[in-house]
Structure 1
Amino acid sequence: MKRELNRRQLIKAIAAGGVLSQFGSFSALATQTKRLYIDGLCFLPDDLTDLKASNIDAYLCDISDIEAIKQPDGTTNYKRTYQACMRSISKALTRVNDNPDKLILGTSSSDITRAHNTGKTAVFFQIQGADCVENSISSGLSQVDEFYDKGLRALQLTHHYGNKFSGGALDNTQSTDDALGNKKSQGLNKPLTQAGKQLITKLNDKRILVDVSHSSPQSALDTAKVSNSPIVQSHGAVRAIVNHARCSPDEVIKAIADTGGLFGIFMMSFWLTNDKIPTTEHYIAHLKHVANVAGIDAVAIANDYPLTGQNNLLKLNNNNAAGVKQYLDWWHSLRAKNVLGYDIEPVHVVIPELNHIHRMKRIDSALAKSGFSGSDRDKIMGGNWQRVLKEVLG
């Protein structure tokens, strides 16, 4: 049954009535000595002691893997195939089960509370791209069921480029001539496909969270209309601040919020600011923007690096000038295809003070200094994720 009310309005009404317990109580969070910390995207660390050091209670955990696929033109493409992801999720599940003193497999929102109360970390398995669903609609998309049985609880529709389900944020642009004969780039803002609509119905029925990170703006807007459950952009940034294809327009941020979902801001600094020196203030500016256009209930934290931070930059003592070099070949290849934003050369990769195992505490402190109330910080640092996971997963 489709939504009859704007979910964002419903959330605010419930909050005003003080009965948010059905989503995960924010009033309970206020009495806890340690604020709940939930991250929108990270990975299983090689060293499990990183879990406790990070102070993160729960996070969406990307367990996907890629497979090299030879294309007809002789080039190689890398996809999160069914076989690669089935192997990787099985391996991740074994690792979680083998370490019950540190890890909890997140299958419902109650696992967040359990992790918080026991000093463990709940990980909610996520795959960054629905290429792993290779079988047909006629088969009932049964591979989704297989991944669910292995613990999958969040699925991203695509990664950077479009697939049979969704348009991608970095799909090639086409050049057109303006009135003066100058070349002008126009993005191929591809919509959600019919197969994508059927996949979303399947994910809703299985109570798997739909993630539109890396989707084209139109596909994200279409997904917000089709889904009967809240959707999220687990990790991304704001296009109004950095005009780049990987950053989302305000209309997408609002549409996600109107489903009752949220928008997580990640740590990749070249999509947070074009200034030469990235700072925590640049990160906070994105959080403020999401709050201004979509409401405080839509704001969340994400990473998209390992728990300790971007490994290469850590080895370089956060020397951005040296670290950015590893991205330049990729960046230049997309510039050649006229993809939005790649005309500006990146000069950094991380915000040094946030490329750290204690980044969640540092963000929390920066929010306080920026004037966010304790209740707003409860939501941003974890409460909004807890609510969304409660509504989608149960």
Structure 2
Amino acid sequence: MSLQSGLYDFNLTEEQELRAQRLHEQNINIDLLFQGPLSPSAIPAAVSERIKELSEPYKDEPMAYSSMPAKWVTKLAARGDIPEYKEEWFKSGITAGNRELHLNDMESLVTSMGEVQLQFDANDWLIKALTAGDIRSAKQSGKVAGIVTAQETDALGTNLELLEVLHHFGLRILQLTYNKQNLIGSGCAEQANGGLSNFGVRFVQRMNELGIIVDTGHCGKQTTLDACKVSSTPVIASHTGAEVIYPHMRCKSDEEILAIAGTGGVIGIFAMPWFVHEDPDHTTIDHVLDHIEYVIRLAGVDHVGIGTDWPMSDLDWSLVYFKEHIAPKLGFAPGDGPSTETVAGLEKYSTFINFTRGLVARGYTDEDIAKIMGGNWLRVFEQICG
């Protein structure tokens, strides 16, 4: 049978295709590191050129210049100038995806709070998910939910009151470190692998008290293991891979995967071409599914989810600039992504059904597919956030 554009060829029968469609429509599908709903290939060329012109005044400020396109995408989408923003999200079938705060410093904290809130204020079809009930309500009412998350903690310093303020704003998931060393612990790019600091222990405990999920996606091995020992609630890795399948610093060892699962947590598998397979130019959704299957075999189907982290709601030219000028400053090795490559089968978020189709192709039951596609994330979210 002929495939629609963007559907990956899993060689499914017509019956299997219908089953995948039914499951994708009825399940609560969650992408916990959702850079979408747009991607470079979903943004019209005229919009891309307009954003490039708007960003030019910042070209002498590398960090600002690199971040400007994504900011303009958000602003223009909020104005209704990019209708694809809504169209791609609803085509994807993703019930809930994160909306990310940036906590690099106080300026980025305040700015990103405004940018995140703008998305909720401008779109009556987007619900801020404070509880699991909000996600279920979004599904039932034909809307989608945004989960407020952050990947850095630098802006907080040692001020735990700011953590409480962010929780009031809606922050529900927070990553302890981003690649490098901070006051809390060591990131995955840190040679020392120092684990949680004394302050890091108090930080995790305060997250537990507030009902913020502890995320170890970019954390170093010992920081991940320490977080699992210290936390009184389930720990997650929102976006990572299995080190055994592909030995990259961003992937988790068996020990870490089992430790996270031991807390009742979930390991989210990403769709980053450079982190899941040796050849980023020929990485497919099957390679991503290999990581999912490995975690299932090791830790069980209750402990795996999806956190794609790719493609970005950005533009090709700015992604190239990011790789050349910004990524090395964030702890990534030269040439080690992110850039313009995408996973075959996830060039756009509107093809997110390929995950469900791939799981059908690999023989998973309806119940297991529901868990992998979002049920496991929803269980942890409900346990910690209500």
Normalising by structure 1, what TM-score?
A: 0.74
Matched, 1:279 2:284: yes
Alignment-derived partner of residue 303 in structure 2: 298
- State the distance in 2 between where 1:111 and 1:146 align: 20
1:371 deviates by: 1.4
**Distance between the aligned counterparts of 1:380 and 1:32, measured in 2?**
12
1:378 maps to a residue whose letter is A
Flag structure 2 segments of 5+ consecutive residues without an equivalent: 1-21, 38-73, 78-84
Aligned to 1:62: 100
Distance in 2 of aligned mates of 1:135 and 1:255: 27
Counterpart Cα distance in 1 of 2:309 and 2:338: 18
Partner of 2:249: 245
Shift of 1:346: 9.8
Query: Following the alignment from structure 1 to structure 2, what is the Cα–Cα distance between the partners of residues 331 and 156?
Result: 18
Within the alignment, does 1:327 sit opposite 2:320 as a pair?
A: no
For residue 349 of structure 1, report the CA deviation from its aligned partner.
3.1
SS of match in other structure, 2:195: coil
Give 1:348 deviation, angstroms. 7.8
Alpha-carbon distance, 1:148 to partner: 1.1
Aligned to 1:320: none
Partner of 1:35: 27
Describe the SS at the equivalent of 1:355: coil
Deviation at 1:91, TM superposition (A): 3.4
Indicate yes or no: 2:174 matched with 1:155: yes
Greater helix content:
2
Give the superposition deviation at 1:386.
0.7
Number of equivalences: 318
Amino acid at match of 1:93: Q
Aligned-pair CA distance for 1:342: 7.2
Structure 1 distance, partners of 2:375, 2:346, is: 21
**AA of the residue aligned to 1:256:** I
- Indicate the residue corresponding to 2:4 in structure 1: none
Query: For residues 33 and 281 of structure 1, what CA distance do their matches in structure 2 show?
Result: 22
Conserved? CA contact 1:42–1:59, under 8 Å: yes
User: Which structure has the highest strand share of the two?
Assistant: 1
Matched, 1:91 2:95: no
Q: Percent identity?
A: 29
CA distance in 2, matches of 1:95, 1:374: 33
Under a length normalisation based on structure 2, what TM-score does the superposition of the two structures give? 0.75
Query: CA separation in 1, counterparts of 2:253 and 2:122?
Result: 42
Q: How far has the Cα of 1:333 moved from its partner? A: 8.2
Larger RCO: Structure 1 or Structure 2 (Cα < 8 Å, ≥ 6 residues apart)?
2
The Cα shift of 1:286 comes to 0.2
- The one-letter code matched in structure 2 to 1:146 is V
Unaligned runs of 5+ in 1: 1-29, 66-79, 174-187, 317-322
Q: CA deviation at 1:326?
A: 6.0
Q: How far is the alpha carbon of 1:152 from its aligned partner?
A: 0.9
- Offset of 1:332 from its aligned partner? 7.5
Deviation at 1:302, TM superposition (A): 1.0
Q: How far off its partner does 1:330 sit? A: 6.6
- 2:261 matched to 1:265? no
* Partner-residue secondary structure (3-state), 1:377: helix
Instruction: Give, in whole Å, the separation in 2 of the partners of 1:148 and 1:386.
Output: 18
| Residues 23 and 366 in structure 2, CA contact (< 8 A), matched pair in contact too | no
Q: 1:331 to 1:120 in 2, by over 3 A?
A: closer
Q: Is the 8 A contact 1:262 1:299 kept in 2?
A: yes
Label 1:239 to 1:324 Cα distance change in 2 as closer, same or farther (>3 A).
farther
Shift in alpha-carbon separation, 1:142–1:353, aligned structure 2, 3 A: same
Query: Which of 204, 207, 212 pairs up with 1:203?
Result: 207
> How many Å apart are 1:84 and its aligned residue?
1.7
The 3-state SS of whatever aligns with 2:28 is coil
What's the RMSD between the two structures over aligned residues?
Answer: 2.9
- Matched ranges for 1:354-369 at <5 A: 354-369=346-361
Distance 1:345 1:305 in 2: 11
What CA distance in whole angstroms lies between the structure 2 residues aligned with 1:303 and 1:129? 18
Equivalent residue runs for 1:1-394 within 5 Å: 34-43=26-35, 46=74, 47=77, 48-49=85-86, 50-64=88-102, 80-100=104-124, 102-136=125-159, 141-171=160-190, 173=191, 188-275=192-279, 277-305=282-310, 311-312=314-315, 327=323, 349-394=341-386
Any conservation in 2 of the 1:324–1:349 contact (CA below 8 Å)? no
Residue 359 (structure 1) shift: 3.2
Q: Displacement, 1:33?
A: 5.5
**Moved runs in structure 1, 4+ residues, more than 4 A?**
30-33, 309-313, 323-326, 328-334, 341-348
Q: Per the alignment, in what secondary structure is the counterpart of residue 360 of structure 2?
A: helix
